[in-house]
Chain A
Amino acid sequence: MSDERRNASERVDINDEVLQWVTFKLDSETYGINVMQVQEVLRYTEIAPVPGAPVYVMGIINLRGNVVTVIDTRARFGLESAGITDNTRIVIIEADSQVIGILVDSVAEVVYLRASEIDVAPNVGNDESAKFIQGVSNREGELLILVDLNKLLSDDEWDELKQF
């Protein structure tokens, strides 16, 4: 292999960065969020509802003295609500310089994905929730839907959350 070719292949490898994704389940689908945005994963604790809160807000929890708003992820993704089980978790994430919690059915694992393994989702549908999808990836014969947490809420909604 010539030096030029070797350099070219090295350049490709550098661009093909490996990212870690925390995967969780909602309904029967698996979703992934960037590990860099995940602060911690909590067992389900009582979520105190807030009167007059937007529909996507389930309520608030007390996390070591800090109030954290918890988002109803199922409602946000257009899924039917489900009961709380032993596997239910609250994933504490940082997005748009705010710390919030997202309620998920269960947390699965941390996976490593190369950028080249991520495909764009088909660009159909004008629904607001279609924007959450950052990409899709084939993970051991199962489709992993990668979520862009920054787009989970609109700018106005992020501003609204700051008031909590």
Chain B
Amino acid sequence: MSKSLAASKKLMQSYLSELLNEDVEPKLAPQAKESSVLPVKEKQAQPLESLLNNASLLQVAQEVEEAVQTRPLSSAKASNKDLFEKPQVKTKHVKTIHNDAISPSIKSKAATKEPNVDVSVKKADEIKTRKSLGGFTESKPLSYRQGDFQAMFFEVAGLIIAVPLVELGGIHSNNKATPLMGKPDWFKGVMLHRDEKINVVDTALWVMPEKCDQALLSALNYQYIIMLNNSEWGLSAEKLIDTVTLKQEDVKWLDTPNKRPWLAGLVKNRMCALLDVDSLIKLLEKGANIKQD
């Protein structure tokens, strides 16, 4: 089993290297661009290392690593206990407050505070673009895209995945999930937890279906369900690693729309994927796998 785990870890490393390499490709130096017109056979023979050497990302990563050595990361290993049964703040109660209940004096205060003038001016000056007319969905800026933020790292089949703590809905123990007929392979089933129904995702099958052979699947030992934000979706995880405070420069961000909307970025020093939880939820709700099929 250890052999298969080691093999799967190796696979994962190469998988992430490919991911990194793929993103860097447009930024390659001219000689790298030349290599892209090489015949397919030669292209395949070209070692991964040479491509990585050309990648500007590595230089950035090295610089960051040097910086980290002189100024250590403020890593805070949070105990897993804190993460369990994280209370979910619901805003429903706020909605129940009616205007009638507000006393007239408060109402008048609120009215004086409201800055209405700017809005009309803005609307008049608004330039209509293709984007504003629809057809394009503007992605909401990620809440953790400024300042330091905490991320939790977990492991699935040797692959380490990070999830920003602000988008972590909670962690549950893995219990029996009832499979439903006609659902994709990666949909493990519905797990009951305190009268809630959790849609459990087989993370290995979702993230790397092509690498999930029978040996890997049978070696998987899912222990936890990582809840995604306030959704009903949960990712299966084998191990919880730790929680680390990351700086913006610790992550290679993928801010521009790309073919992997679920990927917010890559954590440089751990060479692992940082999930864009909201985009991932959207994909799961569409029933799409990692290839968005």
Contacts and interface: CB of A to CB of B under 8 A. Distances in A.
A143 B183 contact: no
CB-based closest 9 A-B pairs: A130-B182, A124-B287, A129-B182, A127-B182, A143-B178, A125-B183, A129-B181, A77-B181, A122-B199
Contacts of B291: none
Interface in A115-138: 119, 121-133, 136, 138
Interface string A121-164: 11111111111110010100111010000000000000000000
Among A124, A127, A131, chain B packs the most CB atoms within 10 A around the CB of A124
A143 B190 contact: yes
A136 B190 CA distance: 9
A21 B195 CA distance: 20
Nearest to A31: B181
Among B180, B190, B285, chain A packs the most CB atoms within 10 A around the CB of B180
B20 interface: no
B182 A122 contact: no
A29 interface: yes
B287 A125 contact: yes
Contact of A136 (B180, B284, B287): B180
Interface in B172-193: 178-184, 187, 189-190, 192
A78 interface: yes
Given A127-B182, A130-B183, 8 more contacts: A29-B178, A78-B182, A122-B190, A123-B287, A129-B181, A138-B192, A142-B178, A145-B180
A132 B181 contact: yes
A23 B187 CA distance: 24
Given A122-B232, A138-B195, A141-B192, A78 B181 contact: yes
Nearest to A79: B181
A14 B3 CA distance: 61
A124 B197 CA distance: 15
Interface residues of B, number: 19
A145 B184 contact: no
B190 A128 contact: no
Given A119-B197, A143-B190, A124 B181 contact: no
A25 to B, nearest CB: 12
A142 B180 CA distance: 13
Among A132, A136, A141, A143, chain B packs the most CB atoms within 10 A around the CB of A143
Nearest to A121: B180
Contacts of B180: 121-122, 130, 133, 136, 145
A132 B182 contact: yes
Contacts of B232: 122
Contact of B182 (A125, A136, A142): A125
A84 to B, nearest CB: 21
Interface string B150-191: 000000000000000000000000000011111110010110
B187 A123 contact: no
Nearest to B182: A130
Given A122-B187, A122-B199, A125-B184, A29 B179 contact: yes
Given A138-B195, A138-B197, A143-B190, A124 B179 contact: no
A36 B258 CA distance: 51
B127 to A, nearest CB: 38
Nearest to B189: A143
A124 B284 contact: yes
Contacts of A124: 183-184, 187, 199, 284-287
A136 B197 contact: yes
B200 to A, nearest CB: 10
A128 B181 CA distance: 9
A130 B181 contact: yes
A128 B178 CA distance: 19
30 contacts: A29-B179, A77-B181, A78-B181, A122-B180, A122-B187, A122-B199, A122-B232, A122-B285, A124-B286, A124-B287, A125-B184, A125-B287, A126-B287, A127-B181, A129-B181, A130-B180, A130-B182, A130-B183, A131-B182, A132-B181, A132-B182, A133-B180, A133-B181, A133-B182, A138-B195, A141-B192, A143-B178, A143-B192, A145-B180, A145-B181
